[in-house]
Amino acid sequence: MRRAKPAVAARAEKFHDAGMKVLVTGGTGFVGRAVLAALAEAGHGARVLVRRPDSARVRELLGRFGAEPVTGDVLAPESLRAAVSGCEAVIHLVGIISEVGRNTFANAHTAATRNVVAAARAGGVGRLVHMSALGTRPDAVSRYHQTKWAAEEAVRGSGLAWTIFRPSLIYGAEDQFTNRFARLARWSPVLPVLGPGRGRLQPVSVEAVALAFVRALREPAAVGRTFDLCGPERLTFEEVLDAILAATGRRRWKVHVPLGLARVAARVLEVVFPRLLGRAAPLNRDQLVMLQEDNVGDPAPANELFCLPVETFREGLARYLKRG
């Protein structure tokens, strides 16, 4: 990761004027763990909403960051009211990329956000930092983006001091996207490209995303604004695969799967995985829609206001591989 310029590093010091008590939803997830690390580094106290606070995994994870577990569920409003008590801010990260059971896009994105907003208002919490997604808009085709937009509208109408972040593809040592293709490349001579593969992405590191969320807490200029979080490069899906292969030192053929065939496969997976395995499908039709769209934005406003580190996708992958 590129070092910050001296002037940028000096400005970044202001974000360590800490001491806030922050409720984090989705804190045990991939992005949530990075946010907890950033909160601890900045000196904030974190309270994490979890369904099973006594599980060994939760105790180990939260103990690592000195975070306080609190029993609750974003779909259970009464538990949220207790969770926000004594907190000055909420970082709301809950989101899904595939549906299973009651974890639908409408529930996980829209209903959950409305519940969090209501609890924050009732509990006197003034600050809300919300995770959305790049590509979210009122005329979106995918249900994922439609429900994300409805969630944003709830945040904008909350009356709270809000900030919304819209990340592009987030990558890191434990992400599901790059690691899935890296694992596939270990044994498969080919990598699938769903459709033409021309939709562009701007991969952004999970550390940069976490810093943006945490630094927004203390930045008055972030209130009432929506920021894109994305890297410096606009890469097609094929170019993303090329970067993963280069970082892992492998050479594989890329095979384009016709969209019609991919839709049929996604529909089958949407039925089989939830009904027979009780798990979310690894591919769904909403993802196919989004992969055909550009997922790009303007990183400059967030990078400049929050003094975020900037690195290319290949630099980031190389850094993770070097760590092992």
Q: Per the structure, how many domains does the chain have?
A: 1
Residue 238 covered by a domain: no
Domain containing 155 — which CATH number? 3.40.50.720
Amino acid sitting at position 227: F
Torsion of CA 24, 169, 13, 300, to 10 degrees: -130
Give tens-digit pLDDT for 16-51: 556 899 999 999 999 999 999 999 999 999 999 998
Confidence of residue 176 (pLDDT cuts 50, 70, 90): confident
Q: What is the pTM of this model?
A: 0.92
Residue 247 covered by a domain: no
Residue 45 covered by a domain: yes
% of the chain surpassing 90 pLDDT: 69
Vertex 26 angle, CA 69 and 9, to 5°? 95
Residue 199 covered by a domain: no
Given a cut of 70, whether residue 6 has pLDDT beyond it is no
Domain enclosing residue 159, as ranges: 6-173+204-232+296-310
Residue 316 covered by a domain: no
Residue 286 covered by a domain: no
Residue 281 covered by a domain: no
Confidence of residue 128 (pLDDT cuts 50, 70, 90): very high
Give tens-digit pLDDT for 213-262: 999 999 999 999 999 999 999 999 999 999 999 988 889 999 999 989 99
Determine the pLDDT at residue 15.
57
73-82, 161-170, 182-191: which range is least confident on average? 182-191
Q: What is the 3-state secondary structure (H, E, C) of 190-248?
A: EEEEECCCCCEECCEEHHHHHHHHHHHCCCHHHCCEEEEECCCCCEEHHHHHHHHHHHH
Residue 213 covered by a domain: yes
Token digits for 172?
Answer: 């890191």
